[in-house]
Each structure stands twice: as structure tokens, then as C-alpha cells.
Structure 1
Amino acid sequence: MPMPIKHSAHEKETIALYENSFWLRWRARWIFFISKLKRKTLKYAKRIAKIIILRHRHFPTFYFPNNRPSYPKTRPVETYNTSIDKTQTFILYRIIGNDLVPRHSAGQSRKNLEFILQHEPLLEGCEKIFILNRIVDPNEEQAIVKLLCDYQQAYLRIPFSWDDYKKAEWNILDYPISYAPYKLKDLKLRQDLAVQAELSLYRHKNNYVMNNNGARNLALQDGRSKADWILPWDGNCFVSQAAWRAIKQQVLNNIAYPYHVIPMARLLDNQSILCTDFEPEPTEEPQILFRSDSTEKFDSRFCYGRRPKVELLWRLGVPGKWDDWAIFPWDLPCPDYSKDAGHYTQGAWVARLFSGKPHLERKDQQSSRERGETRSEAILTMLDQLDDSSYSNNTSTTTSLLTRVTCTSHCDGSNLALLKEATKRAAGKKHQIESYSVNQLLQDLVIGSLAQCHSARSEFCQLIGNNLNKLFPDTQEKECSKRLKVADPSLLTLFLFTIKTLKQRQDPGTINTERLDIHLEDHLNWLIKSHPGQIMRSKSTYIGTQYDLLVSAISLYFGQTQTAKKTFRDSRFRILEQFDTSNEKHLTRRTKNNLHHECLNLQLWIYLAELAKTIDEDLWNFTARNGNGIQQAIRRFLKKFENYKTFSKFDKQRLLPISDAYRQQYVEPFNLPSRFKTGPISQCKPVFPIETGIFPFWNLGAGTIPNHPKTSKKLTPEYQE
């Protein structure tokens, strides 16, 4: 990747604009001001200056396309056949896509199409075809089809498929992990850059729905056998008689060139182009006209909003303002020159019809910046809405969470042990919140709710209600909200899952969760919006995994699927970061008691992956390009115990839930070390200390696996926090 060596004056202005370098420009004045202050005031002034420096926004590394070396100068006559003496034919494709509100007015594409059909003249030697490009709204698509049929216009249709959209993944592997979403707050990126970075994460989804270059390439493929010249243009392009004469003359005068770049003029009033003396100023991003034997096409990797057409202009060596558009780490790199670089001409003009937003169509730099920001936000809004619409609660998916809640085998040893333990706790003495920890109460809630799912006894429902009243005696008490901040993420996750299951069953004995819901909603807002919550989110260790588990569990409890899906997206970045073998040791050194925290982290990942599975998000099989993921991390961790004596103080039975989850998820079995004895999982210890992060009665519904330890030791201070 070529790096900039020397910048023009315009580039330096662009760099200053991007860097927002307030402190750099005013540093000398601050130093002079500080030097004039008295000694007593000097330390306060230095503190102010230090705050300004520390709050200086991070700016990512970037480079400009025009820093590339010049392309080799060759004439098109050396490459292309110029002995064309027949009458030239043209075919104009216009691609009609989805309206992006607020970048466009609702229904603006159909309004502009109607204007074209009513007022655009017949173009000599040119056939017109419209392409309906994955229009999501079937009613809008039907209205456009009816309009085209009324005017007897030919069209091609690229259908939108919900099944295909669901297959579109997040852009994780090509995105720089140093700009992972949970790190952006710390980086303090400028708002427009943060939106651009987030838009890059949607690249595959964006490419499927908007399909800019995909539709353009379809036009090229379809048109090469139908005409000598192909115009794969945007749906809002209007060609007047004067514009067509100029375009045709430009082509015929330079017929040896395979590419013709046609500048575009934006209209603030569509009626203005109907005037015979209309003279536009075509200064906007141009359209491209192709000869049928040209070899270049659009790169379908580049998505709408991130220079899909400009990428080809860069390859052809067409100069313009796009040469000063910075390329950031999350962008696709600037491409190399094509072998056809320089084989183009530039001239004539075409008009772009009104978008319905006059303040975004002005020709000044501020309007151009606002247009880009509004376009990015509109794309993100639409894709988020599609994600919500495509979601279905996949209760048919078999997960360990669902197995624990729905297992009804009363003869199973673990099931009987659950009912016995729940009965014991329901009949136990009444604990006060001061002498009984929040997590102990939460553990009682989990055991009681599990037992209620399996037996529907009134005493279990009473146990749940009593403990909830102890935890949340008042809806307004601030102390109640603080209790959720110390709640164990694993216990809270399983409790919310079981309570939601009870609600869905509409169990007559289901307790009232109104106060719980109020405090959960406040806790979710605290996690997402507060500064301490964002610090927790930015951690690269097990604390960050706990954050993802908490946010996703509470979000799914409230049915906020979009928040959960974005959290699982961030979790994929954590997989790349935490399970990278070159970075793993560095991450574990940050905490004491590495073995305990490493085991806890894997346990959290198992529950996070199972929770994601309930909404068709697959974290189990997500891996880096080198194969590192949850599966490899579990294998590496279990292999550490080949030497039994090395970890003699560690409770080996903590490995059982991890090994059992591995066996259930992956076809390839992985046995524990041969020194460990075998036995049925249903007879293993069901309840572990809370700090281990293991669900109570984790072995509900489990089968048997070979090679697990017969006994278990209690946690020792060696790996307790």
C-alpha cells in the first residue's frame, strides 16, 4: 500500500479538516499564555492544557489515492479495434433501488421514474431498459412495475429474498480489530468517522440489499450482446435531447476509446430541465459509458456509500475530487490501475433528478458532507430495520439452555436432585439481604425457576416471589439497581431465560416481575450508556465477555433483538482478539489467578454461544482465518491438564461442563486426560461455587461422556478473587 510522501495544498487543507487539530494550531498561543501567568496559577493552567491534550480525538491513519504512481501512457488504438464503420447502437439501463429515508423522500424513486416516463424524449439509436434492484417493499415494487407496464417499458427484475439476506454476514474478518465497535468510545472518533466505521461492518448486508455494482454488472452482461455501447446508469438520471446529442457526439468523435466519462449535474427542480435553454454545471460524480468489447466492470465488493463507482474511476485513472477522498483502515484499499487506465474520454453531461431533500443538493462543501453523513445514517437505519424484520425466535433450535428448561425426564438423577434442592431451599429459613448475598438469592431464584419449569409446584413459585421481593423491595430505591451491578452474569442469564420461558407458557403460577423489569431496564441503560458500562465493554479479558453476556441476556429478555445481534457481532471481534494465540498470553497476564479466569472465560463463552444460538447467531463455529475460535480455545485449555499433578489445587470437575458442551456441539470428540475416571454426568456435582460461573444443575438433560473426574475439591485461595 503506497503511503503519502508529499501533499498538495488542497491535501493539506483536507488533512487539517480531518484531524480537527485544535491543540496543534493553538499550541503556541497556549504556551505564550501560560508563560505570562503567575506561579500560583501556572499549575492550574497546565492542568487545563493537559486536559485539552488528553481529550484530543484519535484520528486513524489514512492515505490519498492520488499518491499512487502514474499509470503507463498507452493509446487505445494499441489495444482495441477501431475499424468500426457501422451505425452505432446504444442501450441505456437505469437502476431503480430502495428509497433511503431521510437521504431521499419516501416514494421519490417512483416519482422520478414517472417524471422520466412522461417527459424524457426518445433517444435516437438508443434502447431503454429499467432494472428493479432488490426493492424490499413488495407494494412499492408492484407500483413501479405497473407504471412501467402502463408506458410499455422493458425492465429486468433482481428480486429481494429474505433467505438470502439472512445469509449475509457481518464484515468481521476484513475489518481492523483495533477499531472494533467496543473500542470506538475510547478512541473518541469524530462522529462522521464513527458512522463510516460502523457502516463498514454492514458491507455484506449493504451489498446484498443496495447491490449497486451487482446491478451495474448485470446491465453490462445483458447489454454486450444487444448494442455497441452500454450505459449502466443510476435510476435518477434524466437524458434530455440536448444531453443526448452531446453524449452521442462525444462517443462518435472518440470511437476508439472504450470508456466515456459523463459528468453529472444535480437538479433542485425537475421542471428546470424541460426548458430549452437549460445549461447545467456538471460537477458531480460522473456516470460511465462502456463499449461492448471493453473488459472492465465494477467491483462488487465496494458497497453503496463507500465509493462503488469511484473505485472504477480510480482504476481507469480518471482525475477528480475523489482523488482527495481519504481511505481509512476500515475501507477497502485503493485498487491498482487497470490495463485500460487512460483509455477514456470525458465530456457531455447528464442530469440527476431531485432527491426530495433540497438542503442536501446544494453544491457547497457543507452540503456534500451532510449528504454523505445522511446517506450513511439512512443505510444503517434501513439495514437495522431489515435485521429486525428478518428475526424469528428460533425456539426449535436445540440449545443447552433450552434443554435445561424443557427436560422432563423425572427419572433422571439430576432432575430429582433439582427438585430436592429446590424443595429444601423453599422450606429453608428466611434470609435477610444484609446477611445473604445478592448472588446467593439469585442462585435460589435460578434453582426455584428451574424447578418451576420442571414441576409447576406452588412452593417453587412462592420461593421465586419471596426472593424477588428481597432483592427489589421498591421500584424507586437506588440500592435495588446497585444489586444488579454485582449480580453474577451466568446466574442472571439463566434466571432471565427461565423466567421468560415461564411467561411464554402463561403458567398460572407465574410470579409478577414488574419490579424486576423496571430495574433490568435501568441496568441495561446503565451498561450501554454509562461511562463505567463502556469501560467494562472495552475490556479485552473475561470482563468484556461478561458484558456481552449481560447485555445480550437482558436484551433478549425484553425482545430487543437488534441490541442482542449487535452484541453478538461485537463478540465475534472478542473471539478474534481473545483466542489469537499470539495475543492470548498477553491477555491472561492482565489478571491474577490465570487458570481460574481462563476457565471462567471459557464458561462464559459457552453460555454466550448458546444464547446466540436461540436467535440463529452462530458463535460456536466462528473462527479467524487461521482457525482460531471457541473450539480451538477449549482444546488448548483442556490439554493443559495432561499433567494432573501440575494443577493439583484446581477443581478438575470444573472441566466437565466445558467438555460436555464441547461434546454436544462438535462432531469431533475430545476426551479429558486419561487419569480422570469415568461416570454418568447426571450424577456429577450439580452446584458449583458461584464464582466459577457454572450454571446450577448444569447437567440437566445431559448424557454421559467419558473421562471425567470422580471427585471435586473446593475452590482454594489460589484462584479466588
Structure 2
Amino acid sequence: MNNDSSDRQPPSWQQLLKEKDKHAQQLEQHLNDKMIFKWFERFDQQYSHFEETLKAQEQSLQALEDGIVKANRRFERRSTAVSMMECETQQSDVSGRRYQNSSPDSETNDFVLFRIIGNDLYPRHKKGQSRENLRFILEKEQPLENCIRYWLVNRIVDADEEQQILSLLEEFDQQWVRIPFNTKEYQNIGLDMSCLPESGYLASREFMALDDEKRNRVMTAMYRHKNNYVMNNNGARNKALKEGKKLAKWVLPWDGNCFLTPRAWRRIREDILEKPWLQYFVVPMTRVQNNDQLINDNFQPDAVEEPQIVFRHDSSNLFDESFCYGRRPKVELFWRLGVPGKWDHWRDEPWDRPRSTPGPNAGQYGLAGWVARLSSGMLELEQHNNISVKERFKARQNAIIETLHLMDRKVSDDTVSWSAPSIDIKNLVDKRELYHSGSDSFVIYEIEKLLEDANSIIEKQRSSDYLTNESSFFNYSMILALAWFFNGDHRHAVMSARLFRRFFFCCTATTDTIAETDETVRIEMEKLLPAHFMGNAWCYPDVMALLERAGVLSGTEISIFKSSLRQYLVWLQESETGKNYCAATNELGTCVDLQIAAIASYTDDKMEMKQALLRSLCRFNTQFASDGSIPALLGDRNSRTRCRRNLQAWINLFRLAGRSNPEFVNHVSTKGITLQTALLSFLSFDAKSWPYTQHESFDEQCLQPLYAFVGHSDDANETHVAREPKATFPESHGIRPYWYLEI
């Protein structure tokens, strides 16, 4: 047997060399791999550092680019000021020599700064902001060299706010002039209908197609005269100019929120005194978001806002008082003086005042320093961007309308602590006092009759799950609510509330309440639709106001009803059917305006109510001919009925609007017709003399509210009007039950 070990041969020298080379290669490969790894690791570290360096450089370049963009925008905004400086007239040297030989050259170059304090216009300004800015100026602004400081308190509507402002001026020993607000003067101011493209524009499809912003612009234009009285923008500037010219050579009739740092005032004086032969200087304005920025005299302005103006005392130009606040009051003078700016590129609306052309002094102005405009208190509106500019414009338009609407309500002399949309609560309160005092037999008789009717309705409804007479729902509801008002018996208010639930929510005697938490319920909208336009649906918000006062409705019920009414108004405005109703030129259009105004008054939608009332005035302009007739209705087979129904709707609308909208009381159409003259024209005909077609029978007693409105007694027409006023009419007549109790 062979032994394996004895057969095994030792490796040859060549094999050993091969093994050695192989191990050497493996070792070399291993060493190479390690070196490559370390190299990659080192490269990785270097690359990361390089990447961070690139990123830092990129951020630096981005910051530089942003700075260039901002500088470019700043340059563009300043181009207006540059163009002003470049527009100096060629005759400046001649004007200078001529000035040196004139008397103004020998006068002392003293100044008077008249700052005008007006009403805070929320939401454009924070409430109380004018007073806050006044205190800031009085406490922080340093004395101005060779300048008298005066204040003009301009028609402050809020008497308490005005007194606080005057007290503050007295505290700091300031000199001031006051222009008072006069309620009677304001009441006599009407609307400016001449700005509309056509007399019936607000009742047209074209107007309804406008967005909310453009509609507000139209309304602002129509309120120009009221705006001019309350804001008195250019009127106050001219008053300051007139008073200032008595006090100093140079007059600054500026806005009340202007602030001057010592450096800003030095610049203004230096620039004016360098060219004193010029009669006008424009002072670019900078807007600040934080007033405290101005305490530091090193504040750097970005003076690109609409400038203020300095006048020499012998200048002849005044501000045009026909241009109202919010529609370029100061810019109008820029146009006459030839001051270029972004206002040259603003788009004119059809209802804007026409632009003024350059006057004989065009180009004869200089540029002087800068002034700061203090914060309005609404920081979101004080940003330096296009969005903020647009939002400021919208807020200004809304603030104008809101302020004027508040003024209309303020001057309505409503002395009661609560109100209903169309009922004159003050008159009802007077009647209630007469009833309880027993001092007026007629009032006692009529209210006793009202209470009998209310008790009768309770008896009819007590035994029924549903409405016994749905066609009388609005009359029944009003009678019950009025009965509660006069005698305080909650049975009447409770039954009226039950009718509300049964009519709008189809509740029965066993489901006669709506759960306080049930907010999914909605009223049946068809109960408000066209079938009721011509009837008494318009006065149902008055019922709801009375029931709320009585405390017989839950908060959820009131919320549901108001929410549903708002949805209904949206439907009227946005649906094609609703737009057709609003644009109707006959009595349907009048009744729609009446219903919308009543609903908007109840839901406290001031803007919607204003639009409805203004639209109705335009409709009034187009409905009536110059003789007071209504041509669109005279060809109907029952023309007398339709004309009466239309006139009754107008009476209802005028009563609703007149208490808080003085312009309605004496409105005169573009053809010279008032509601009074239209009623007299209609009432001049009786059943026999009516010259147009009338097939159905006509209830002569429904003329009683028309005669009452024009102030005629029944005695004048005993042949067809009963002596005792009729209390209730069919709902289709559009006459409120017991209509005469609020007269």
C-alpha cells in the first residue's frame, strides 16, 4: 500500500514565484483600494465644502439681485418726483428777476401749517385714529422754525369724538378753527343722479352685470354731494388756505396725519427759499407703518405717495370743491398745475367728474423736501405693494358708503331704542301712549278694533293644526304682532310666532317649536317668491322685528330666517329669473325693490339696502312721464288697478326709506316729477273719468292710503272714499293692516 505523503512533490521554484506574485498583486490591489477610498473620502469633504461655498455665493447673488429689483422699483416710483423737477419752466430765470423787483420779495418768508382733522372712516381708518395721530404729533413733533402751527377741525360727526379732539388741542395750547357739522344742512342734500349714463341705469341689466367694486364706485359717485358735505375734503382745504393767507407768506393746507421731522422741515424751507418766485411747491409724501419710526431724525423716506401742496399767499388757484373725497380731490389741482404723476394714467369711469386741463400756471411749481403720512391704524392697508393699493381703494370706497349710511340713520331723528324695517316705531309708541292714557277717542276705538281682530284670529287658529287661511298669513301675522305691541298680551305674539312656524316650516300644533340646536332647518323659499311680490310679503320683516322684541322666537329660529333671507337675496341677484324681476320696468320691479329693501333693512345689510333704494330712484325716473302718468301700465286691461298697486308700492318704499334716507323724501325725477305729483295726477281721475281700460271692479277704499300720503282728507272725495279708514285689505293690494296707526 502506497503512502500519499511519500508521493507528494514539493512545489517548484516557478510555482513559488507565481504564488509570490499573486500575493503581491493582491496586496497591491488592497493598498490601491484603500488609497482610492481615502481619496474619495477626501474628495467628498472637499466637494461638501465647495458646495457650501457655492450655496453661500448663490444666496449672496440672490440678495444682490433682490436689492437691484428693489432699487429698480424705488427708481420707478421716484420717477414722478424726478419728472416734476425736470418740468421747470424755461422762464424760471426771468420769473426770478421779476420776483426780485416785486413786493413779495421784500416780505418775510414765514409759514403757517394748517392740518385738517376729519372723521375717521372705518374700515379705511381705525376708529379714533385721527385723535391718536393728533396726540402723537403734539407730543413728538418738534417746533418748526419760522412756522405757525394751526389746526382745522372739519365737520366731526361724532360730538363726543370732536370734544375729545378739541380738549386735546386745548391741553397743548394749540390754535384751531372749527367747521361744525349741521344736521339740517345735511338733510337738505340730495343725490347726484347726473353722473349716471342714463336715468334708469341702476335698474338696468348693464348695472347688474357690474361686480361689487364697480357698483360701489357708482354709489360713491351718486353720493358726491353728501360726501362733499361730510368729508368736506376740498372745502376744508380752501378754508385753511383762506385763513392761512392772513397769517403768513407761505400756507400749507395739509391733511391732519402729516408729520414733519426736523430734517424734513429744513429740506422744505431750503427748497422753497431757493426759488421763492414760484407760487406753488409740491411736497412728496412717504407712508409709515409705525409712527415711532419718525422719532429718529435720521429716518430715510421713500417719498413716492401723492404729494401735499404749499401755496404762496398771493397765489390764485383753489381746490375744486366739486371733486369729492375718494375721487381725486387733490389730483384735480395737480392736473391744472401740470404736475405729472401716476394719476395721469388712472382710468376714468363714466361717472367720474371730467378731468381739468392745464391752467395758465401749469409748470410754475417747485419740488420741496418731503413729509411723512402717519399710520391709519390698519397695517394690512399700509404695505408698499399693488395689492395694498387696491385694498386701500376698496376700503376707502366702503368706508365712504358706510359713513354716509350711518349719517342718514343719524339724522332720521329716530328716538326709540329699537326699530323695524318699515314701521315708524316712534309714531306707534305715541299712539300706544294715547291709548293707555285714554286721551284720544279715535286711537282708542281703532286699537280696540285691532285687539278684537287679533282675538278672532286666535280663536280661528286654536282648533287647527295648520293655517286656516294661508292667503291671509301676512295680514294675520301683522295684526297679532301689532296687538301685542299695543296691549302687551303675549298670547298675540305667541300665536303670531306659531303662524310663522306653520307657514315657513310647516309645523303643526304638536311640532310647534324648532329645537334650539336644529340649524339644518331652512324656510320654504317659495313662500317668498313672485306670488307674494305684489302683496304684503314686503312687511313681514316688520312682524319678525316685533316678535323678536316680544321674545317669542328662539335665537336659532331668527338665525335660520335671516340666513334664508340672505340666500334669497343672492338668488334674486345671481339667477336669470331674479335678474329679470329686478330689471322689470313695471310694478313688479317696484315691488322687488321694496321687498329687497325691507329684507336688507331687517338683516342689517346696509350696502344691499342702499343699492336697492338707489336702483328704485332710477326706476322712478323712468316709470313716470312728465305729466305723472305711468305709460307702461296704461295699455293694460286693468290699468287703474295696476297703476294704483304701483303707486302703493312706491308709498311703502318711500315710507321705508324716508326715515333713514333723506334723499327719498323730496326726490324729483329727471322729468321733474315727485311721488306727490304722480299721486295727484292719478287721483285726479275717478272711476267714471278714468280714460283707460279697466275691466275688473275697483275698490275705491284702497285709495285711502294714497290720499293720506298726499295729505288730503276723505272729505274732499266723499263720493268714492269712505269717511272711516278701512283697516284691512286683501293681501294682493299691498296695504299693511291698520296702515293709518303709524301716520
Question: What TM-score comes out, normalization by structure 1 length?
Answer: 0.70
Q: Deviations over 1:691-711 (max 9, x none)?
A: 343456768899xxxxxxxxx
Residue aligning to 2:25: none
Residue aligning to 1:8: none
Residue aligning to 2:652: 607
Query: For residues 450 and 163 of structure 2, what CA distance do their matches in structure 1 show?
Result: 57
TM-fit CA distance, 1:358: 5.3
User: 1:83 aligned to 103, 121, 128, which one?
Assistant: 103
User: Is 2:673 the partner of 1:632?
Assistant: no
Task: From the superposition, tell whether residues 409 and 79 of structure 1 become closer, same or farther in structure 2 (CA, over 3 Å).
Answer: farther
Query: For residues 139 and 302 of structure 2, what CA distance do their matches in structure 1 show?
Result: 24
User: Is 2:536 the partner of 1:491?
Assistant: yes
Query: For residues 399 and 100 of structure 1, what CA distance do their matches in structure 2 show?
Result: 30
Query: For residues 235 and 111 of structure 1, what CA distance do their matches in structure 2 show?
Result: 11
TM-fit CA distance, 1:375: 2.8
User: 1:524 aligned to 562, 565, 573, which one?
Assistant: 565
Q: Is this contact kept in 1: 2:153–2:179, CA < 8 A?
A: yes
Q: Is this contact kept in 2: 1:489–1:549, CA < 8 A?
A: no
Q: Secondary structure of the residue that 2:667 maps to in structure 1?
A: coil
Q: Deviations over 1:454-476 (max 9, x none)?
A: 89999988975775564243357
User: Equivalences for 1:392-403 in 2 at 5 Å?
Assistant: 393=414
Instruction: State the AA in 2 paired with 1:196.
Output: R
TM-fit CA distance, 1:230: 0.9
* Structure 1 stretch displaced more, 399-408 or 687-696: 399-408
User: Is 2:584 the partner of 1:551?
Assistant: no
Q: Secondary structure of the residue that 1:214 maps to in structure 2?
A: helix
Task: From the superposition, tell whether residues 271 and 542 of structure 1 become closer, same or farther in structure 2 (CA, over 3 Å).
Answer: same
Q: Deviations over 1:269-297 (max 9, x none)?
A: 55555666655443321111112222221
Residue aligning to 1:710: none
Q: Secondary structure of the residue that 2:648 maps to in structure 1?
A: helix
Query: For residues 499 and 362 of structure 1, what CA distance do their matches in structure 2 show?
Result: 44
TM-fit CA distance, 1:601: 0.8
TM-fit CA distance, 1:332: 2.1
Q: Secondary structure of the residue that 1:682 maps to in structure 2?
A: coil
Instruction: State the AA in 2 paired with 1:539.
Output: A
Query: For residues 404 and 108 of structure 1, what CA distance do their matches in structure 2 show?
Result: 44
* Structure 1 stretch displaced more, 80-89 or 587-596: 587-596
Instruction: State the AA in 1 paired with 2:596.
Output: V
Task: From the superposition, tell whether residues 513 and 114 of structure 1 become closer, same or farther in structure 2 (CA, over 3 Å).
Answer: closer
Query: For residues 204 and 577 of structure 1, what CA distance do their matches in structure 2 show?
Result: 23
Query: For residues 685 and 108 of structure 1, what CA distance do their matches in structure 2 show?
Result: 55
Residue aligning to 2:33: none
Q: Secondary structure of the residue that 2:176 maps to in structure 1?
A: strand
* Structure 1 stretch displaced more, 482-491 or 127-136: 482-491
Q: Secondary structure of the residue that 2:536 maps to in structure 1?
A: helix
User: 1:239 aligned to 260, 264, 269, which one?
Assistant: 260
* Structure 1 stretch displaced more, 92-101 or 378-387: 378-387
Q: Deviations over 1:604-655 (max 9, x none)?
A: 1122223344557564532125421212322343456686385574457445
Query: For residues 237 and 534 of structure 1, what CA distance do their matches in structure 2 show?
Result: 47
Q: Is this contact kept in 2: 1:92–1:127, CA < 8 A?
A: yes
User: Equivalences for 1:148-227 in 2 at 5 Å?
Assistant: 148-160=169-181, 169-172=190-193, 174-176=195-197, 187-227=208-248
* Structure 1 stretch displaced more, 233-242 or 348-357: 348-357
Q: Is this contact kept in 2: 1:270–1:354, CA < 8 A?
A: yes
Query: For residues 592 and 616 of structure 1, what CA distance do their matches in structure 2 show?
Result: 36
User: 1:124 aligned to 124, 145, 167, which one?
Assistant: 145
TM-fit CA distance, 1:220: 1.0
Instruction: State the AA in 2 paired with 1:128.
Output: R
Residue aligning to 1:230: 251
Query: For residues 250 and 574 of structure 1, what CA distance do their matches in structure 2 show?
Result: 56
Q: Is this contact kept in 2: 1:96–1:234, CA < 8 A?
A: yes
Query: For residues 595 and 169 of structure 1, what CA distance do their matches in structure 2 show?
Result: 32
Task: From the superposition, tell whether residues 558 and 246 of structure 1 become closer, same or farther in structure 2 (CA, over 3 Å).
Answer: closer
User: 2:708 aligned to 646, 651, 664, which one?
Assistant: 664
TM-fit CA distance, 1:402: 9.2
User: Equivalences for 1:324-363 in 2 at 5 Å?
Assistant: 324-357=345-378, 360-363=381-384
Greater fraction of residues in helix: 2
Query: For residues 345 and 150 of structure 2, what CA distance do their matches in structure 1 show?
Result: 34
Q: Deviations over 1:288-336 (max 9, x none)?
A: 1112222221122322221111111122232222111122122222235
Task: From the superposition, tell whether residues 222 and 456 of structure 1 become closer, same or farther in structure 2 (CA, over 3 Å).
Answer: closer
Task: From the superposition, tell whether residues 570 and 237 of structure 1 become closer, same or farther in structure 2 (CA, over 3 Å).
Answer: same
Q: Is this contact kept in 1: 2:120–2:129, CA < 8 A?
A: yes
Q: Deviations over 1:665-703 (max 9, x none)?
A: 44689999xxx972662368776554343456768899x
| Structure with bigger gyration radius | 2
User: Is 2:291 the partner of 1:291?
Assistant: no
Q: Secondary structure of the residue that 1:91 maps to in structure 2?
A: strand
Q: Is this contact kept in 2: 1:621–1:629, CA < 8 A?
A: yes
Task: From the superposition, tell whether residues 342 and 76 of structure 1 become closer, same or farther in structure 2 (CA, over 3 Å).
Answer: farther
User: 1:257 aligned to 278, 281, 288, which one?
Assistant: 278
Q: Secondary structure of the residue that 1:298 maps to in structure 2?
A: coil
Q: Secondary structure of the residue that 1:644 maps to in structure 2?
A: coil
Task: From the superposition, tell whether residues 319 and 273 of structure 1 become closer, same or farther in structure 2 (CA, over 3 Å).
Answer: same
CA RMSD of aligned residues (A): 5.0
Query: For residues 729 and 292 of structure 2, what CA distance do their matches in structure 1 show?
Result: 75
Task: From the superposition, tell whether residues 412 and 701 of structure 1 become closer, same or farther in structure 2 (CA, over 3 Å).
Answer: farther
User: Is 2:526 the partner of 1:482?
Assistant: yes
Q: Secondary structure of the residue that 2:103 maps to in structure 1?
A: coil
Q: Secondary structure of the residue that 2:672 maps to in structure 1?
A: coil
Q: Secondary structure of the residue that 1:95 maps to in structure 2?
A: strand
Task: From the superposition, tell whether residues 559 and 409 of structure 1 become closer, same or farther in structure 2 (CA, over 3 Å).
Answer: farther
Q: Is this contact kept in 2: 1:609–1:618, CA < 8 A?
A: no
TM-fit CA distance, 1:149: 4.2
Query: For residues 358 and 291 of structure 2, what CA distance do their matches in structure 1 show?
Result: 37
Q: How many residues align?
A: 623
Q: Secondary structure of the residue that 1:526 maps to in structure 2?
A: helix
TM-fit CA distance, 1:523: 4.8
Query: For residues 194 and 170 of structure 1, what CA distance do their matches in structure 2 show?
Result: 16
User: Is 2:622 the partner of 1:577?
Assistant: yes
Instruction: State the AA in 1 paired with 2:103.
Output: S
Unaligned runs of 5+ in 2: 1-88, 417-422, 508-513, 515-519
Query: For residues 286 and 242 of structure 1, what CA distance do their matches in structure 2 show?
Result: 18
Q: Is this contact kept in 1: 2:262–2:297, CA < 8 A?
A: no
TM-fit CA distance, 1:232: 0.5
Instruction: State the AA in 1 paired with 2:355.
Output: C
* Structure 1 stretch displaced more, 617-626 or 463-472: 463-472
Instruction: State the AA in 2 paired with 1:600.
Output: R
Q: Is this contact kept in 1: 2:241–2:253, CA < 8 A?
A: yes
User: 1:440 aligned to 472, 490, 496, which one?
Assistant: 472
Question: What TM-score comes out, normalization by structure 2 length?
Answer: 0.68
Q: Is this contact kept in 2: 1:397–1:613, CA < 8 A?
A: no
Task: From the superposition, tell whether residues 183 and 520 of structure 1 become closer, same or farther in structure 2 (CA, over 3 Å).
Answer: farther
User: Is 2:722 the partner of 1:681?
Assistant: yes
TM-fit CA distance, 1:117: 3.7
Task: From the superposition, tell whether residues 430 and 483 of structure 1 become closer, same or farther in structure 2 (CA, over 3 Å).
Answer: farther
* Structure 1 stretch displaced more, 557-566 or 411-420: 411-420
* Structure 1 stretch displaced more, 258-267 or 225-234: 258-267
Instruction: State the AA in 2 paired with 1:189.
Output: L
Instruction: State the AA in 2 paired with 1:529.
Output: V
Query: For residues 742 and 196 of structure 2, what CA distance do their matches in structure 1 show?
Result: 40
Fraction of identical pairs, as percent: 32
Q: Is this contact kept in 1: 2:625–2:671, CA < 8 A?
A: no
Q: Is this contact kept in 1: 2:126–2:376, CA < 8 A?
A: yes
Task: From the superposition, tell whether residues 493 and 456 of structure 1 become closer, same or farther in structure 2 (CA, over 3 Å).
Answer: farther
* Structure 1 stretch displaced more, 516-525 or 81-90: 516-525
Q: Is this contact kept in 2: 1:82–1:255, CA < 8 A?
A: no
